[in-house]
Amino acid sequence: IALLISVLTAFACLCLTPAGAKEVYINGIDFGFPPFGYVDKSGNPAGFDVECVNWIAKEMGFEVKHQPMDWDGIIPALNAKKIDFIASGMSATESREKIVNFTMAYYEVSQVLVVLKDRTEDLNTLLTTGKKIGSQRGTTSTKRLKDLLATEKYKFEIVEYDSTDLSIEDLKIGRIDGSAMDSSIAYELNKDGAYKTAGAFDVPTEKYGYAVRKGDDKLLNLLNQGLKKLMADPQWQVLKDKYDIH
């Protein structure tokens, strides 16, 4: 009977799966990171990363779902197979490369400190006079701040946030004196008129890539091929212009 049931089930599955059904891959993404990932006014996933991945999926013949995730747990979620990849402004760092694989780089950033427009202190002063500096938990910005604090020269307090958006809200109302973030995001903020960049951290630049589980070479290849095609296609510039990415 068990055999009969399994044969019948297999048959039913075969019949119900349309021929050539596309593979569905889930992109884990933090939507508090405009213009790379955010939710638009009608509640739909939007942003540079979202549209690039949608283009790649169409081109490479798979389907993609964008699953909102907390940044801090995003790599553990990938390795626990809750999501299949991460296209979310993630820097391909050496320590992350030990636990996930990254595609080719698609964008380069540095770390900067954003303050309210009327602040007059430079980066160095802000970081040596006991100020409150915000950053998103689990990011390279937070890592950088912690590394600085470990040296005697610096004196400030780190205030960690679940999203970069939240740190910017607190910056706006004066709860923190500065917020450390990727230059890509700071560029967008500076257009607002309320903020400016107090300076860039003296660190090597970082490169964004999409992360997949180690050993998932099938998806890594699809994403790499798709990214390569996209970056050679006129659509690459169209999307960069649309989201004002430089």
Residues between 182 and 211 with contacts to ligand ARG, criterion CB under 6 A: 182, 206
Asked if 45 touches ligand ARG (CB under 6 A), the answer is no
User: Which two three-digit tokens encode residue 196?
Assistant: 């400016």
Note the residue count of the chain.
Answer: 246
Structural element, H or E, at residue 156: strand 156-161
User: DSSP letters of 101-115?
Assistant: EE-S--EEE-EEEEE
Asked if 91 touches ligand ARG (CB under 6 A), the answer is yes
Residues between 8 and 37 with contacts to ligand ARG, criterion CB under 6 A: 30, 33, 37
Q: CB 36 → ligand ARG: shortest distance, Å?
A: 6
Widest CA span of the chain, in angstroms?
79
- Looking up tokens 């990363």 gives 49
Asked if 71 touches ligand ARG (CB under 6 A), the answer is yes
Distance CA 201, CA 58 (A): 38
Distance CA 174, CA 168 (A): 10
Pick 137 or 229: Cβ nearer ligand ARG = 137
Pick 177 or 206: Cβ nearer ligand ARG = 206
Build a one-symbol-per-residue string for 129-168: x at contacts with ligand ARG by CB under 6 A, - elsewhere: -------x--xx-----------------------x----
| Binding interface with ligand ARG (CB under 6 A) | 30, 33, 37, 71, 88-91, 136, 139-140, 164, 182, 206
